[in-house]
Amino acid sequence: MKEQRYDLFFAGFESEAYKLFGCHKIKGGVSFSLYCPDVYKVEVISEFNDWQGLEMKMIDDRGIFYLEVKDIEPVYMYRYRIYKDKTTYHDKIDPYAYYAQKRPDNASLMYDLDYYKWQDEAYIKERRFSYKDPLNIYELHINGFKKEEGQELETYRHLKETVIPYVKEMGFTHIELMPIFEHPFDGSWGYQASGFFAATSRYGTPYDLMEFIDACHLEGIGVILDVVYVHFVPDDWGLRNFNFKALYEYQEAHLQKSEWGTYYFDLNSGPVRSFLRSSADFYLERYHIDGLRFDAVSHFIYHKGNRDLGENIEGLNFIKSLNVTIKERHPAVMLIAEDSTDYPKVTVETKWDGMGFDYKWDLGWMNDTLRYYKMDHEYRKYHHNLITFSMAYFYNEKFLLPLSHDEVVHSKGTIIDKMFGTYEEKFHLCRNLFVLMYTHPGKKLNFMGNEIAQFREFDEKKDMDWSLLDYPLHDSFHRFFKDMSLIYMNHPCLYRDDYDWHYFKWIDVDNNAQSIFSYYREDEKECLVVILNMMPISYHAYDVGVPYGGTYTEIMNSEKDIYSGCNMCNFEPIKAKRRKRHGFTHAITIDLAPFAGIIFKTKVQKPRKPAKSKAKKKKA
């Protein structure tokens, strides 16, 4: 049986290599297993024997070593001592270790994951994937949310008490954790990993992390994990030069190094492909993760993410195969691509020659939209298309709209700080932006801090600036964000048919002279009309064409006084009148405040059936 599994491993199709390799509890002790070909010998060194070497036995001539140690419990630190010859050796971490020392130390730690008893059986049983469900993601860096007073690092257990009730109150459906693979440098935010099966010990034990995810599920909150399968850290004790030559990295020197100073995984190698696909399966299976967000997908598509270097055929084949396998083994899990290219069919099933992702980040929407909101009001009329262009390509993929951590670092300014204008005008515009975001087709993702209009850029060493909520503008913005999020969650026409073009229509797409946009979202029961005024100009009798007769009720106005707006609102329901406007047979006349984002709701009216003629039939 194991021989067959080893064959799968070397072919690159083993999804549970974490069961074949690493340190495991066995009857009466522990076992160690390592893939390390073309070396003189391998020893296990550990604190249980004062770091003296215990030689492993080669059990497969392709380079698989094995050792059993009796009468010990899986609680010790260990490393592998790998010999190039009789005298030359180096010490390496266990690539398949479930746990590791906290930086700056780096030894692997024995750990038995089987003791934890999950409580989320009902959640897992009911879990499903559907494009018709709402998806409102809160992107989280664990150490940057709200630490206990006096603590250097957040903990998984404390996070359970702080973030779960907050996320639930704010109307988010999922938490997306920035990478939690073990990593040596805090400033990499986990994107430069060393341990692909070891959840970082910075914040606690694997059981602590399981307890946090379990608690999320018990409150109906999904957990998405940001994963980095393109590259790994270059540190000497890690995967690089593992057997004194390239084993995990490309052998060709010109392909090895990434733009980040890390090393690319060799996706031509069957054992490397099995290693990565097993890491993905491990977190889905053992940690009950609900979705994976793949970082730097452009590097799977093109060599080094550069179109000029040509398609990365082995990268494309790997990611397609991985996505198919994940969906076969975990059909309710979602797969999300962070891809900056215009490569086609990223969210098309592989049987139709696609890459097999469920969602793709719409970085085009993000870049165009933020560029527009940064712009001086006077120039917006010349760049009207920055807001409208997204809908010209939106239905080519299953897009997710991200305002992520990438937009609030490296001197780019935070979302609120990107807005043009005075301090007060920034808040008006930022509220307008989130009305656009939450009513635009596509699922949603926001990085922590967006919801309190934080001006300070993200710093992995610091909490969010919660003290901002002592200031009226920030406190009212926080209330607005919550209300906007809950409107999204409670109106199915804003999410149920995101990817069906029949349910989104522009009302006035070309009004660049006034820089006003209007459109509507609908389903079979409800229609929401959205008007966005991008200028510091008010209108007391602005006509908007509407798709139905009947009454229109304002359910959101970003300029309400409770949001620190000017309170120029439409407090009474408005009856649509029969007159032609914007190509429709009915129109409403509204008050439109400067920078207002407004949502009106009405019932969808089905076409009337032709009245039956009452005229009597003439006798023949």
Active site residues: 295, 338
Q: How far apart are CA 405 and CA 446, in angstroms?
A: 8
Closest Cα to residue 141, out of 530, 448, 450?
448
For 525, other C-beta atoms within 10 Å of its C-beta total 9
Distance CA 614, CA 80 (A): 93
SS (H, E, C) 396-419: HCCEEEEECHHHHCCCCCCHHHHC
Q: What are phi and psi of 259, to 5 degrees?
A: -70, -15
ω into 104 cis (within 30 of 0)? yes
Is there a contact between 69 and 55 (Cβ–Cβ < 8 Å)? no
Per-residue b/e over 391-424, b at no fewer than 16 CB within 10 Å?
A: beebeebbbbbbbbbbbbbeeebbbbbbbeeeee
Three-state DSSP class for 551? strand
Residues 6+ apart with CB under 8 A from 63: 35, 36, 37, 38, 39, 243
Rounded to whole angstroms, the Cα distance separating 155 from 146 reads 10
**One-letter amino acid of 40:** Y
- For residue 132, give Cα distances in angstroms to 360, 483, 487, 523: 16, 21, 16, 11
> Would you say 56 and 64 are in contact if contact means Cβ atoms under 8 Å apart?
no
